[in-house]
Chains A and B, each alone.
Chain A
Amino acid sequence: MSETIYLDHAATTPMHPEVIEVMYETMKKHFGNASSIHQLGRESRGIIEEARRTFAESIHARSQEIIITSGGTESDNIAILKSVEKLKGNHIITTAIEHPAVLEPLKYLSEQGYDITYLPVNEKGQVTLEQIKNAVRQETVLVSIMYGNNEIGSLMPIQEIGQYLKEVDPKIIFHTDAVQAYGTEDIDVKASEIDLLSVSAHKINGPKGIGFLYKSDNITLNPLIRGGEQEKNMRAGTENLPAIAGFKKAVELRKDNKEELKATNLYFKKLLLSKLKENHVDFSINGSIEGSLAHIISLHLTGVPSSKLLIHLDLANIAVSTGSACSAGTVGPSHVLTALHGEDDPAIGETLRISFGIGVKEEDIMKTVDKIKQAVVFLKNKKV
């Protein structure tokens, strides 16, 4: 285990030891149901409200604007499905490269009669403000644009879009899936005029099965999961106290080391690229280094089938990915790479996603470059 070089932090991250510790202690000491009226319940309630404050502060929101959920997928589903229900108008704008947690609920809405505009992305994997301007109509009720993409790392002009939408039609709801960007980008929901924002803890060394949805006080939302009065009736179910406490710890830790981690990730990214070049590995970048998340790089390794390359690297105990981790069972062509390059582009079958995070060392990068080089030479020779 320990010798595995883990370069798949965009899929999920190891829990920080301090987060595990907090969860362990919380499970032992604070097991009361936060809805119980006795002391144990009140203690649990206190921990949750403190965590809520921490979550809110991390994106410049108010505590009452944070709805705790079971993760990024749930946050996205609520944001998409439950924001438009009571609105007049049936047009929604999104991008072609959103995560399935956004695309699938949108597909459902389209079956219900909504008209969805999927904006194409440019060669950097971004949409532009211009495209949004052209797409907005009288009937537009929701714009959902991811903050940063999980496969190629491209960052979207969220602040420009938010401010523009606010100006042109403040009734349009603006959602952003920030699951990959949270904890690496400086997010200010007020300055960016964001109405809904999705976050997941397991991408920032927090626990799996917990996340939050920021919902601006300015909009109304219907609950998806109903029952008890938890989360002010916005998300029923006994609160997941230990995970909430662990998530809070993860956010605090990230706050302290965010800039440093970002710089390290960027350094590794550049190191990886320059070493690959030095080793004459033939590659191009899907998207671009500028305007992308520091922890994600997507490489098109010309002429090298990624499924085979992945196996070689895996045997060398290097964990990377071909794209997203989220196509369980269905390893079809990546919709992100398809949107970026067009259908049938060779890059779709020849792409490696490498994603950095805490614990990665310089020697890991060197070893990875070595192994990529070896594998590429082997696979290319075999072909001829």
Chain B
Amino acid sequence: MIYFDNSATTRTEASVLDTYRAVNEQYFGNPSSLHQLGERSRQLLDQSRKQIAELMGVNKEEIVFTSGGTEGDNFAIKGTAMAKKGYGRHMITSITEHPAVLKSMEQLESIGWDVTYLSVDKKGKINLNELKTAIRKDTVLVSLMAVNNETGSLQPLKEVSEVLEDHPSIHFHVDAVQALGKVDLDLNESRIDMAVFSGHKFHAPKGTGFMYVRKGRKLSPLLSGGGQESGLRNGTENVPGNVALAKALRLLLKNKKATNDRLSSMKQSLLNYFSELEKVTVFSPEESAPHIISFGIKNSRGEVLVHALEKEGIYISTTSACSSRKNKSVHSIKEMGHSKEQAASAVRISLSNMNTKDEVEIFKKTFNKVYERLKAIE
């Protein structure tokens, strides 16, 4: 089996799995309990938070554990809305965000908020002038993704940060679910106030995630209750999951440069290969994350290609899985200026450090066969 669908989810790293198991066996106490078992769980949780904070270059008070990326995005957006509704009711985002962001925005619109959806260019980037014009007195949040999950395209976070320097009270939220370990994200230096991460996208268990919330930024909890996570995220902590999450993060960032070089070279090898196939169009812009390639075979629907490769034991995905907004289908590829037909042909290869160059070569051989069959379709 060749698994090239790592942006959908990753396989949990074996040693991370062992950690998850060991913590469950030995440290099952509730960190809120006052006895030793609780104390040990609390220490373990605290250590994990500290590790993550150090790896991310921030303070440990700025790390909040969540159940994943979707919760994080919902929390950042609606938590800002609740905390800042006295200051204004306008938010800015882009048209190619993940549904976790778009649907949260839609919900706010339904209760009277105003949302500006920035368009993107051929490279999938927003236009800074459009952003500047969109900012109003009553803007409380700008929400942009670091790496697009469909195409790997990047938003100019540095430049956006600079624009926002002049607007210190606006919250800047970044969905960094696809970006972690893949592109540079300087939480300390940039103007980013909140960044959202999801464990299962980097070989940690599903149902884990964390969020960076800059000190001093006010957020109302999405889930309220027992006071956990400094009252920001309530519910009994998933200690084993969070310990495993910290470990996976450490492994991810350990050989970051080498890993990304390897991913980039695998990606380049695939791009070179695709460039020789007449009917293949690559949708990922040149400047994009090292692990995602979006492409399509002319006139062949994405699903057909996914299933054809699946028969050969190769797993990739269509890119439009769950992107729809108010019945207008939102498709990053379409928004980048490609036709509806091209968008319908799109599939996504997404790599991780578990993939190898051998797999890339096998992929090419297999793809040759499938391509010969599908390219004939008019």
Q: Which residues of A contact B264 (CB under 8 A)?
A: none
Q: Is the CB of B38 within 8 A of A319?
A: yes
Q: Name the residue of chain B whose CB is nearest to the CB of A28.
A: B17
Tell me the chain B residues, 215-264 only, with Cβ under 8 Å from chain A: 222-228, 234-241
Tell me the chain A residues, 37-56 only, with Cβ under 8 Å from chain B: 37-41
Tell me the chain B residues, 267-305 only, with Cβ under 8 Å from chain A: 303
* B98 contacts the other chain (CB 8 A): yes
A–B Cβ pairs within 8 angstroms, 25 of them? A8-B38, A12-B236, A27-B17, A31-B12, A36-B8, A38-B307, A38-B310, A72-B236, A73-B235, A100-B225, A101-B224, A225-B70, A226-B70, A226-B74, A228-B100, A228-B322, A238-B198, A242-B12, A243-B207, A310-B34, A318-B35, A321-B33, A321-B34, A326-B32, A328-B228
Q: Which residues of A contact B317 (CB under 8 A)?
A: 36-38
Given contacts A27-B17, A226-B100, contact A35 B206 (CB under 8 A): no
For the A-B complex with A242-B205, A326-B225 known, give 18 more contacts whose Cβ atoms are closer than 8 Å.
Answer: A12-B28, A13-B28, A37-B303, A38-B317, A70-B71, A71-B236, A72-B236, A73-B224, A73-B235, A76-B225, A101-B224, A104-B225, A200-B236, A227-B70, A227-B73, A227-B99, A237-B100, A329-B227
Q: Name the residue of chain B whose CB is nearest to the CB of A40.
A: B315
* A224 contacts the other chain (CB 8 A): yes
Given contacts A31-B12, A321-B35, contact A210 B17 (CB under 8 A): no
A residues within 8 Å of B by Cβ?
1, 4, 6, 8, 11-15, 20, 23-24, 27-28, 31-33, 35-41, 70-74, 76-77, 99-101, 104-105, 107-108, 200, 202, 207-210, 224-230, 236-243, 310, 313-314, 317-322, 324-331
Tell me the chain B residues, 1-19 only, with Cβ under 8 Å from chain A: 3, 5, 8-12, 17
Proximity string of chain B (65-107) to chain A, C-beta cutoff 8 Å, 1 when within and 0 when not: 0011111011000000000000000000000001111011011
Given contacts A228-B100, A321-B35, A322-B34, contact A74 B24 (CB under 8 A): no
Q: How far is the CB of A355 from chain B (nearest CB, A)?
A: 11
Q: Name the residue of chain B whose CB is nearest to the CB of A19.
A: B24
Q: Which residues of B contact A33 (CB under 8 A)?
A: 5, 8-9
Q: Which residues of B contact A23 (CB under 8 A)?
A: 20-21
Given contacts A71-B236, A229-B322, contact A208 B241 (CB under 8 A): yes
Q: Name the residue of chain A whose CB is nearest to the CB of B14.
A: A28
Q: How far is the CB of A243 from chain B (nearest CB, A)?
A: 5
Given contacts A20-B21, A208-B239, A226-B107, contact A237 B68 (CB under 8 A): yes
Kindly list the 9 A-B residue pairs having the minimum CB-CB distance in the complex, ordered from nearest: A326-B226, A227-B100, A240-B207, A73-B235, A209-B238, A237-B70, A101-B225, A104-B224, A226-B103
Of A99, A225, A239, the residue contacting B206 (CB under 8 A) is: A239
Q: How far is the CB of B305 from chain A (nearest CB, A)?
A: 11
* B47 contacts the other chain (CB 8 A): no
